[in-house]
A = this chain, B = another copy of it.
């Protein structure tokens, strides 16, 4: 089975026209097809949506947006949204919707040592939100990210929604619908989004700074070791220290228990020891082909096909912020989705490949 699955990875990358370099090959960057001008709806549908092939559209895509010139100016957004309350996502380390150490590990069950941690969401005035984002510092235990994914550009941020196109015309015409949600994302280098997939066709436009994507096609599902984790959330404990008001975040398990299937893999471990542990625990990821790397710069748009796994980090622009807008379009649930579910239903027997000795407890529980 493992051999067949590895052949599937190689063939699908080959058919996508995306290379399959070894994990440590830096030439894996920029493999995503790039065009200068937005495609016609027909070409976009035929060459990207239908085959599930990403596309990077260069700066011409958003040059006409008022946001392109206005949003990078530090004062514009804080002035326009001066009295607007927005949902700010707070974590100690910039990792919202990601695995974290279980706050009450069960020593009897190695597999329960990690949980799925959601951010503490707090409504604050926009200028205060921007201040907290800029001051984000894992060393100080607080990272803020405005990333409310509930159509927030047309909701909380409606006052500036007119600064960007309401939809992506060539995508809307190709897909035959308008976006289901349009979201605004404001963060800095400390916020990272862990590997996951969305049931949407996604157009991701960067307005300030850069977004760095690691991409895996849906066929590489098994490489991500999606496992069931108990959900937890950060809760706030206010405290006064040295005469200053401080916010301290504490991770608490959700009650009643909620289970979230999530990728076990951290593709960018923070230490050599953690890298060694990850590589031993998740060999299908770390021994497999490098993920497709794609940096989306200010003014560019990435088409990210539905069901593609993506891990996102970011670099701020001169204004200290990474600002992006994404358009989620309803995906077509077709035979590819059936194939994906079939693939997902198959277990790869790691033991037969002679790596059983390296597996951590997590891998013993395949409940995906």
Where the two chains meet, the residues of A that have a C-beta atom closer than 8 Å to any C-beta of B are 1, 4-5, 7-8, 11-12, 15-16, 41-43, 45-46, 49-53, 173-176, 217-219, 332-339, 341-343, 345-346
Q: In the complex the two chains form, is B51's CB within 8 Å of A334's CB?
A: yes
Q: In the complex the two chains form, is A337's CB within 8 Å of B15's CB?
A: yes
Q: In the complex the two chains form, is B41's CB within 8 Å of A333's CB?
A: no
Least Cβ–Cβ distance between A288 and chain B, in angstroms: 15
Least Cβ–Cβ distance between A266 and chain B, in angstroms: 26
Q: In the complex the two chains form, is B342's CB within 8 Å of A8's CB?
A: yes
Q: In the complex the two chains form, is B338's CB within 8 Å of A8's CB?
A: yes
Considering the complex of A and B, which 8 residue pairs feature the smallest CB-CB distances, nearest first? A51-B334, A50-B50, A12-B338, A339-B339, A8-B342, A11-B338, A4-B345, A12-B335
Tell me which residues across on chain B come within 8 A of A218, comparing CB atoms.
335
Q: In the complex the two chains form, is B51's CB within 8 Å of A332's CB?
A: yes
Q: How far is the CA of A342 from the CA of B11 in the complex (A)?
A: 9
Least Cβ–Cβ distance between A46 and chain B, in angstroms: 6
Least Cβ–Cβ distance between A201 and chain B, in angstroms: 12
Query: Could you say which of B45, B332, B339, B343 contacts A336, with CB atoms under 8 Å apart?
Result: B339
Least Cβ–Cβ distance between A125 and chain B, in angstroms: 43
Query: Could you say which of B15, B16, B43, B334 contacts A176, with CB atoms under 8 Å apart?
Result: B43
* Between-chain CB contacts (< 8 Å), 15 pairs: A4-B346, A8-B339, A11-B341, A12-B339, A15-B338, A16-B335, A41-B42, A42-B173, A42-B176, A45-B45, A45-B46, A46-B332, A218-B335, A219-B342, A339-B343
Q: In the complex the two chains form, is A342's CB within 8 Å of B345's CB?
A: no
Q: In the complex the two chains form, is B334's CB within 8 Å of A50's CB?
A: yes
Q: How far is the CA of A1 from the CA of B4 in the complex (A)?
A: 14
Q: How far is the CA of A217 from the CA of B339 in the complex (A)?
A: 12
Tell me which residues across on chain B come within 8 A of A52, comparing CB atoms.
334-335
Q: Beyond A11-B341, A342-B7, is A334–B16 a contact (Cβ under 8 Å)?
A: yes
Q: Beyond A4-B345, A16-B335, A219-B339, is A50–B45 a contact (Cβ under 8 Å)?
A: yes
Q: How far is the CA of A368 from the CA of B16 in the complex (A)?
A: 25
Q: How far is the CA of A158 from the CA of B5 in the complex (A)?
A: 47
Question: Which residue in chain B gives the minimum CB-CB distance to A344?
Answer: B4
Least Cβ–Cβ distance between A339 and chain B, in angstroms: 4
Q: Beyond A8-B341, A342-B7, is A335–B15 a contact (Cβ under 8 Å)?
A: yes
Tell me which residues across on chain B come within 8 A of A174, comparing CB atoms.
42, 46
